């Protein structure tokens, strides 16, 4: 059916909008959650996200293998992936190379985009701030930026969420066509 990618900063309203979008078709929803409660603060974040979702939604906790659940969730279900940011962090922590992460991102994004029902993916936009000081932080920002671009290319629509408001992101090919028309 379609893939919608929601990008934005922390507390921008991405997940809240993702819940509204996933609920809109009126289909059963499966949430693929990539976060792990490794400390109290993260456990509280996960609890808050769960509380914002309807209780009848199924949650699959999968911090590493997005492709597996995306391939196995029935097409009659809407899928919500929350979030790519933590997923990339988890893969980096496992020691995967940038290329391996990008390959996994391409496979998962393609699976999400070709589902028979709506898929919504949430991710952070971390490249809009200052260049991080440390090499690991710079690598993370670079890899996540490329993963976001991979998902955006597969998506039917990509939306930037800022302060609870949405800005549609144009496909570069469409922009180039408009510019060539003069």
- Active site residue ranges: 49
**Distance between CA atoms of residues 98 and 147, nearest Å:** 10
Assign residue 161 a region: left if phi > 0, alpha if psi is -120 to 50, beta otherwise?
beta
H-state helical runs in 60-116: 67-72, 84-93, 98-113
**Distance between CA atoms of residues 121 and 149, nearest Å:** 13
The H helix count followed by the E strand count for the chain is: 7, 7
Task: Write the burial class of residue 136 (CB in 10 Å: 0-12 exposed, 13-18 middle, 19+ buried).
Answer: exposed
């Amino acid at each position: 059916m379609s893939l919608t990618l929601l990008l934005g900063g922390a507390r921008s309203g991405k997940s809240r909008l993702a819940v509204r979008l996933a609920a809109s078709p009126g289909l059963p929803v499966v949430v693929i959650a990539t976060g792990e409660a490794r400390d109290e603060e993260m456990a509280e974040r996960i609890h808050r996200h769960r509380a914002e979702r309807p209780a009848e939604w199924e949650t699959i906790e999968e911090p590493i293998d997005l492709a597996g659940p995306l391939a196995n969730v029935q097409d009659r279900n809407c899928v919500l992936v929350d979030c790519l940011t933590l997923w990339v962090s988890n893969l980096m922590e496992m020691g995967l190379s940038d290329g391996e992460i990008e390959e996994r991102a391409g496979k998962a994004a393609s699976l999400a985009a070709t589902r028979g029902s709506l898929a919504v993916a949430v991710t952070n936009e971390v490249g809009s701030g200052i260049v991080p000081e440390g090499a690991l932080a710079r690598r993370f920002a670079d890899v996540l930026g490329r993963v976001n671009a991979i998902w955006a290319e597969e998506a039917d629509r990509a939306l930037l969420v800022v302060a609870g408001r949405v800005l549609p992101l144009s496909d570069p090919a469409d922009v180039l066509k408009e510019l060539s028309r003069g």
